[in-house]
Chain A
Amino acid sequence: MVSANAWAAAESQSGNTSAIIIFVAFVAATLWISYWASSRTNSSSAFYTAGGNITAGQNGTAIAGDFMSAASFLGISGLIFTAGFDGLILAIGALAGWPIMLFLMSERIRNLGRYTITDVVSYRLQQRPIRMIATLGTISVIIFYLIAQMVGAGKLVELLFGIPYTVSVAMVGVLVIIYVTAGGMLATTWVQIIKAILLLSGAALMCVLALVAFNFNLDSLFAKAVEVHPRGELIMQPGSIFSDPIQAITIAVSMMFGTLGLPHVLMRLFTVPDMKAAKKSVFYASNMMALFYIMTILIGFATIAFISGDPQYYTDGKLIGGSNVAAIHLAHALGGDLLMGFMSAVAFSTILAVVAGLTVAGSAAISHDIYAELLSKGKPDPRKEMFISRITVVVLCSVAVGLGVLFQNQNVAFIAVMPMVISASVNFPILILAMYWRGFTTRGAVIGGLVGFVSSIALIVGGPKVWVSIIGAEAPLFPYDYPALFTMTAAFITMVVVSITDRSAASVQDRALFDKQLVVAELASNKKM
């Protein structure tokens, strides 16, 4: 970190100034939004879902904002910077989940749930057990996702602004507590919208500047990248890091199905008035993300063309700050200190927005799923529920800050994988089977969900990112970084086998309620009946 601090210190004043001005403007705008939203956040429904009054266009932008994290922008362009073509599998995999969400999930989830995905899966299954397993899936995804964001935030801010790691992590925690406790989902939505627009325009600007530098000749941009990259022509071809076919498949599966169980993304489906708007918001979101990932691919190759081999971005033969900030270096190469400051501020605001979204979802899981539905059996004291949801926000953010500080010097690559794999192996199978398979029973959901959860953690711990990189063994017990191909399959098989052989009285009820659920899921008729 010495070199990074030296670099940050050596950055000229103007870069820091523009970054600070943009960042302060962002914080001021979002704080004003929280103040504005606070008077409208006076019930649990307003807190969790902004009262269901967000439009499809606003929600689509906010969903895109939830998913276009700094990790995907900086991480994917950084992977392309190092590996070339193979980095694209993450971009395509991340996009591939969205059409499935639109076709199979968006409408039924909106019709069956009220505030959380746990509402959806408990529509016809036995309340207590199904809520426990669904909440386990939700909370663990959120906690791991939060840690990854916090560590990312700390490192990024330390590098870009020279602010100490602990201070920046705490700053994220405090700001998010203010947004969410004051303005709930309404404030979070607008923070996401602003951030999504900033990120999309920043990425578009970088693409245009990169293309201008090559007179809009794509082939010569890529030719330059091939010329300066140590791997040469190999960067244009698959196979440089994923030589094993199963590795490529299991990454694609993890990214695609992991997206389909993310609680903070799916929760956004409840912020719009009806199923039509829910469907439309996923559609708008995917269009924006398709554009964003195409730009990210171009930016990835542009980082190679502009940065690779340029001594001012290297110390001791290594890229300053690592490949994750390659895109920030590109901003500097294209637009000098001003653009670099802008993109740094955008990257940080992105983290703030994603943490806010995660916090609302985590708070809903605890105050709605656990307090209101489990402990109060669906009849909570409204004032107490509001109070608990706000306390949860403070607790969750403090835990995230604490864990962020604790993991400061750890290799956290595995923490970014964890939520996607758990989401694909616990949340997604339970959701899809509860909505589409009549024979699915509570026992199948609980046992299968536990199999998915335990196998996800076991295979990640036994995999290269923990067993070799952290524990220090010679060879991993399990060869792949992203185990969802195996863990999700195990969860599905267990759920099907256990459900088929389930002859309990509860299972009869679970299956009998399917017809009623089907009517509500397809017709949205519960509001009218």
Chain B
Amino acid sequence: MILNSNPAFRKLLKLRSRVRFTLAALLVLVHAFFVGGIAFYNDLFARPLQDGGTLTIGILAAVVVIIAMVLLEWVYIFISEKWLDPMQQKVLSGEHND
């Protein structure tokens, strides 16, 4: 395989795994924050958002966590469509010129 020593391909691989694993780690953190609210710091999640109100920090956390998950996905789609996929096209067309 010539491609594995192709610098453009190595660069694509490196960038893609960096983006993929960074975002995956962030997702695990976000999820762990929510599970932790049930497993470890339930006092925090039980606190009301405002004095005398019924809504708790836990309910807000659930909605924020869901939105954060969607935002991480937006980031991945944005980065890959703007930079990674064009890089992939370039590697592919370079390969055909060989």
Residues of A participating in the B interface, judged by any CB pair closer than 8 Å: 85-86, 88-89, 91-93, 95-96, 98-100, 102-104, 218-219, 222-223, 226, 236-239, 242, 245-246, 248-249, 252, 256, 276, 279-280, 283, 286-287, 290, 293-294, 297, 515-516, 518-519, 522-525, 528
Q: Say how far A122's CB is from chain B's closest CB, in angstroms.
A: 20
Please determine whether B73 and A248 come into contact, CB atoms closer than 8 angstroms: no
In contact, A236 and B55 (Cβ under 8 angstroms): yes
Instruction: Give 3 nearest A-B pairs by CB, closest first.
Output: A245-B39, A237-B46, A238-B38
A238 interface neighbour in B12, B42, B77, B88, Cβ under 8 Å = B42
- Verify A236–B95 contact, CB threshold 8 A: no
A103–B59 CB distance below 8 A: no
Contact A96 B58 (CB under 8 A): no
Question: Whole-angstrom distance between the alpha carbons of A293 and B16 in the complex?
Answer: 30
CB-contacts of B1-22 with A (<8 A): 1, 3-4, 9, 12-13, 16, 19-21
Whether B55 pairs with A290 at a CB distance below 8 angstroms is no
A-B contact pairs, 10 of them (CB 8 A): A96-B31, A99-B23, A103-B20, A222-B59, A245-B39, A279-B77, A515-B4, A519-B9, A522-B88, A524-B88
Contact among A297, A515, A518 with B62 in the assembled complex (CB-CB below 8 Å): A297
Asked if A286 and B58 make an inter-chain contact with CB atoms under 8 angstroms apart, the answer reads no
- Taking a contact as CB atoms under 8 Å apart, the answer to whether A104 and B24 are in contact is yes
Q: Which of B45-70 contact A (CB under 8 A)?
A: 45-46, 53-56, 58-59, 62-63, 65-67, 69-70
Identify which of A93, A219, A222, A237 gathers the most chain B CB atoms within 10 Å of its CB.
A237
Q: Do A99 and B58 touch (CB < 8 A)?
A: no
Instruction: Identify 4 new A-B residue pairs, CB closer than 8 A, beyond the known A92-B31, A103-B20, A245-B40.
Output: A99-B76, A102-B76, A219-B53, A525-B95
Nearest CB of chain B from residue A248's CB, rounded to whole Å: 4
- B residues 24-42 near A (Cβ < 8 Å) are 24, 27, 31, 34-35, 37-40, 42
Q: Is the CB of A95 within 8 A of B66?
A: yes
Give the distance in Å from the alpha carbon of A239 to the alpha carbon of B67 in the complex: 23
Which of A223, A248, A525 is B38 in contact with, Cβ under 8 Å?
A248
Q: Is the CB of A104 within 8 A of B66?
A: no
A96 / chain B contacts, CB cutoff of 8 Å: 27, 31, 69
The smallest C-beta distance from A527 to any residue of chain B, in angstroms, reads 11
Q: Which of A218, A252, A276, A286 contacts B69 (CB 8 A)?
A: A286
A45 to B45: give the CA distance in the assembly, Å: 50
Q: Do the beta carbons of A92 and B46 come within 8 Å of each other?
A: no
Assess whether B92 is in contact with A518, with CB atoms less than 8 Å apart: no
**Residues on B with beta carbons closer than 8 Å to the beta carbon of A525:** 92, 95
The reply to whether A286 and B39 contact each other, CB–CB distance below 8 Å, is no
Within 8 A of A (CB), among B64-96: 65-67, 69-70, 72-73, 76-77, 80-81, 85, 88, 91-92, 95-96
Whether B55 and A222, one on each chain, are in contact in the complex, defined by CB atoms closer than 8 angstroms, is yes
On chain B, the residues within 8 Å of A246 by CB distance are 39
Which residue of chain B is the closest to A234 with respect to CB atoms? Answer: B46
- Most chain A CB within a 10 A radius of its CB, from B34, B38, B40: B38
Q: Which residues of A contact B34 (CB under 8 A)?
A: 89, 92
What's the minimum C-beta distance from A177 to chain B, rounded to whole angstroms? 36
Complex: A93 Cα to B76 Cα, angstroms:
20
Question: Inside 8 A of B12's CB, which chain A residues have their CB?
Answer: 522
Binding site for A on B (CB under 8 A): 1, 3-4, 9, 12-13, 16, 19-21, 23-24, 27, 31, 34-35, 37-40, 42, 45-46, 53-56, 58-59, 62-63, 65-67, 69-70, 72-73, 76-77, 80-81, 85, 88, 91-92, 95-96
Interface of A is mostly: helix
Kindly list chain B residues whose C-beta atoms are within 8 Å of the C-beta of A522.
9, 12-13, 16, 88
Are A516 and B1 neighbours in the complex by a CB distance under 8 Å? yes
Cβ contact of A92, chosen from B20, B65, B95, B96, cutoff 8 A? B65
Q: Are B63 and A294 in contact (CB under 8 A)?
A: yes
Cα separation A255 to B29 with both chains bound (whole Å): 16
C-alpha gap A523/B10 in the complex (Å): 12
Contact B95 A290 (CB under 8 A): no
Docked CA distance A286–B69 (Å): 9
Is B66 in contact with A283, judged by CB distance below 8 angstroms? no
Q: Are B56 and A237 in contact (CB under 8 A)?
A: yes
Distance in angstroms from A283 CB to nearest chain B CB is 5
Task: Give the complex CA separation of A242 and B37 in angstroms.
Answer: 11
Centre residue among A226, A279, A519 by max chain B CB count within 10 A: A519
A524 proximity list for chain B (CB < 8 A): 88
Whether B69 lies near A99 (C-beta < 8 A) is yes
Contacts of A293 in B (CB 8 A): 66
Cβ–Cβ < 8 Å partners of A237 in chain B: 42, 45-46, 56, 58
Shortest CB-to-CB span from B50 to chain A, Å, is 9
Within the complex, the shortest CB–CB distance from B66 to chain A, in Å, comes to 5
A93 neighbours in B (Cβ, 8 Å): 31, 35
Determine whether the beta carbon of B20 is less than 8 Å from that of A104. Answer: yes
Q: How far is the CA of A11 from the CA of B49 in the complex (A)?
A: 41
| Residue of A with least CB distance to B81 | A276
Contact residues in B for A515 (Cβ distance below 8 Å): 1, 4
**Measured between C-beta atoms, what is the minimum distance from A396 to chain B in Å?**
33
A residues less than 8 Å from B95 (CB atoms): 523, 525
Give the docked Cα–Cα distance between A161 and B34 (Å).
39
B24 surroundings in chain A (CB, below 8 A): 99-100, 103-104
Given contacts A515-B4, A516-B1, A528-B92, are A236 and B13 in contact (CB under 8 A)? no
Cβ of B4: which chain A residues have Cβ within 8 Å of it? Answer: 515, 518-519
